[in-house]
Amino acid sequence: MPQAHKKPPSVFITGASSGLGAALARHYGRQGAVLGLCGRRADALRQVAGGLNAHCFVADVRDAGAMQAAAAEFIAQAGVPDIVIGCAGISVGALTAEAADLPVFQAVLDANVMGLVHTFHPFIAPMRAANKGVLCGIASVAGVRGLPGGGAYSASKAAARAYLEALRLELKSAGIAVVTVSPGYIETPMTHVNPYPMPFRMGADAAAGPVARLIAKRRPERIIPWQMAIVAALLRCLPHALYDRLFEHAPRKPRGLPT
């Protein structure tokens, strides 16, 4: 007897207007998935959505009300999603000593940490009622140890990893999986300004496949690519004195106000 075809998933993605979010939209779109694409730039969202079975939502993940409205509209149009992926984020250099950078810290933490909370919150009750679903948060290998000039970003991604781990435990009995993916360097608009070598850099489309496989397998946490996972494990083991000597004068991401 012929095997029944598996129904394509429904997927809600933030940060879908560019980078990894857009690459994941294309990846799932090729499978025929029903997509909810969320981002701040309407024109870019429409471009990504072209030819896909997609609903577009112009919203900022820092705005809890906007995210609740987007989630409610998507559920009304497409039902409870099988997968929700929090890709939206901000990466910019910032220094605690500079008064002008204080709002930068706030913006980065709001987007990279509270943005995940705002993204997942409105979907949890419907997923719990359906006893299904995967929530995937995109963290970063930068959250493994603090990087000079990148205190806001490193702190936000370390917080994101801890938050996602706590959420995984909270939702385990509800049948909802929480997957944490911490990429190394991915070619996106955020990394194009980096004035330093980026080892094991991946294209966004190349990274989308491994992320989707981790989601399908409901893996609790992974660093990608595998080479960067080894680097991260070594960095964790470095004594403070050696880590300081190696990274105190490392090149830094340019400072600036996030857009």
Known catalytic residues? 153
Q: In which order are the strands placed within the sheet that holds 221-224?
A: 54-58, 34-39, 10-14, 83-86, 134-138, 177-183, 221-224
How far is Cα of residue 251 from the mean position of the Cα atoms in its chain? 24
Tell me if residue 65 falls in helix, strand or coil: helix
**Distance between start and end Cα atoms, the chain:** 55
Geometric angle at alpha carbon 184, from 153 and 212, rounded to 5°: 110
Give the alpha-carbon dihedral of 256, 162, 160, 163, to 10 degrees. Answer: -130
CA distance 19 to 23: 6
Minimal CA–CA distance to 110: which of 66, 147, 42, 159?
Answer: 159
